[in-house]
């Protein structure tokens, strides 16, 4: 297993470098360092001298990939790409271009807010509610409960997340006055702010989640071993919850484990509407303000987390299916 993990980690290196190169190419294809300077310095009194000064102080006065003015290895090291990307390898994200904040510290601070909202959403929503409801529908398959449940799921998944957010804020926050409409706090005080976005986040995911898991369960309950279990005289509940569920875990795990790394990223829309200071908000702000330092860091972090998620998924298969082996 260890050899397998090491091999997968080694495979990840060229992927991460490739992601970095691609990010830099795409970013600088769309934006020149002059564009960044102009955007960041504001609208008033942005002289060419001020732009040049900004570039020098933020290390953007160098060529992007090859510095022909330097000798030897410095042709590569004295470039924007090398200077900005190499420290990422040891997770030194540097300072933001927009306001010089330390990005690593900002990520460490903000990730808790993202986790606070996305963790309950994934645990309570994805795993408990969606799985439970999907099993219920599978249990009552081909009955009016299944049919109407499915219709409701389709309706729920057809509604925009924005509608859930605005509707939830309006009904639960404004009309019924049960929760703060938006906001965030630290520690235990965060509880009252998290209920509404988490409930809305769960409600928004029920439709698609239930449909997906129902399909998985239905596929499973038509297999031979289920028929054998029924023939053995087991109750439908036991067949479904004890036997079929175990075997349906591979697609479920694929779905859940891959989404775990993105817990840190949080939910972009929910965070913005509920004024939750998470990483989703951070990334959106950086894109809007053309802060390459943050965009680069978040893309890099995202690629690492995605690779980690895929490795975790592979490992988790061995836990639920003894037939799966690392080779």
Ranges within 158-187 binding another protein (CB under 8 A): 166, 169-170, 173-185
Alpha carbons 117 and 182: distance in angstroms, whole number? 13
Residue 292 near another protein by CB under 8 A: no
Q: Least distance from C-beta 104 to another protein, angstroms? A: 9
Q: Least distance from C-beta 205 to another protein, angstroms? A: 19
Of the listed pieces 55-63, 125-133, 216-224, 305-313, which binds another protein according to CB under 8 A? 55-63
Residue 67 near another protein by CB under 8 A: no
Total residues at interface with another protein (CB under 8 A): 79
Closest CA to 158 of 208, 199, 197: 208
Q: Least distance from C-beta 318 to another protein, angstroms? A: 23
Question: Which member of 273, 292, 300, 317 binds another protein (CB under 8 A)?
Answer: 273
Residue numbers 207-266 binding another protein by CB under 8 A: 235-237
Q: Least distance from C-beta 101 to another protein, angstroms? A: 5
Question: What are the residue ranges of helices labelled H in 142-291?
Answer: 144-158, 161-168, 191-221, 224-231, 236-238, 245-247, 249-259, 268-273, 279-288
Measure CA 161 to chain center: 16
Question: Which member of 16, 27, 39, 260 binds another protein (CB under 8 A)?
Answer: 39
Alpha carbons 241 and 88: distance in angstroms, whole number? 46
Q: Which is closer to another protein, CB of 152 or CB of 311?
A: 152
Q: Check if the beta carbon of residue 309 is closer than 8 Å to that of residue 257.
A: yes
Residue 83 near another protein by CB under 8 A: yes
Alpha carbons 172 and 162: distance in angstroms, whole number? 15
Q: Least distance from C-beta 102 to another protein, angstroms? A: 5
Residue 73: exposure state from Cβ atoms within 10 A (0-12, 13-18, ≥19): exposed
Residue 285 near another protein by CB under 8 A: yes
Closest CA to 297 of 10, 9, 19: 19
Residue 274 near another protein by CB under 8 A: yes
Residue 115 near another protein by CB under 8 A: no
């Amino acid at each position: 297993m260890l050899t397998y993990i090491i091999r997968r980690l080694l495979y990840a290196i060229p992927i991460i470098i490739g992601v970095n190169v691609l990010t830099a190419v795409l970013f600088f294809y769309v934006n020149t360092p002059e564009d960044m300077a102009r955007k960041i310095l504001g609208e008033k009194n942005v002289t060419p001298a001020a732009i040049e000064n900004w570039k020098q102080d933020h290390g953007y006065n160098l060529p992007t990939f090859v510095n022909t003015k330097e000798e030897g290895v410095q042709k590569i090291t004295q470039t924007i790409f090398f200077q900005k990307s190499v420290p990422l390898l040891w997770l030194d994200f540097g300072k933001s271009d927009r306001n010089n904040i330390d990005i690593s510290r900002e990520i460490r601070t903000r990730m808790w807010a993202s986790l606070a909202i996305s963790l309950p959403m994934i645990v309570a929503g994805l795993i408990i509610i969606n799985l439970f409801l999907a099993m219920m529908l599978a249990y009552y398959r081909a009955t009016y409960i299944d049919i109407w449940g499915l219709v409701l799921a389709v309706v729920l998944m057809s509604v925009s997340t924005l509608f859930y957010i605005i509707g939830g804020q309006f009904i639960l926050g404004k009309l019924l006055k049960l929760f703060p409409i938006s906001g965030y706090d630290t520690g235990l005080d965060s509880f009252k702010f998290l209920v509404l976005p988490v409930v809305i986040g769960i409600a928004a995911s029920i439709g698609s989640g239930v449909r997906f898991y129902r399909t998985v369960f239905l596929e499973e309950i038509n297999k031979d071993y289920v028929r054998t279990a029924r023939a053995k005289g087991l109750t439908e509940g036991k067949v479904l919850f004890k036997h079929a569920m175990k075997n349906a875990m591979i697609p479920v795990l694929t779905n859940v484990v891959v989404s775990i790394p993105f817990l840190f990223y949080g939910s972009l829309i929910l965070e913005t509407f509920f004024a939750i200071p998470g990483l989703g908000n951070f990334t959106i702000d950086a894109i809007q303000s053309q802060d390459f330092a943050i965009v680069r860091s978040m893309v890099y972090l995202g690629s690492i987390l995605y690779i980690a998620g895929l490795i975790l998924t592979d490992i988790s298969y061995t836990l639920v299916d003894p037939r799966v082996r690392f080779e």
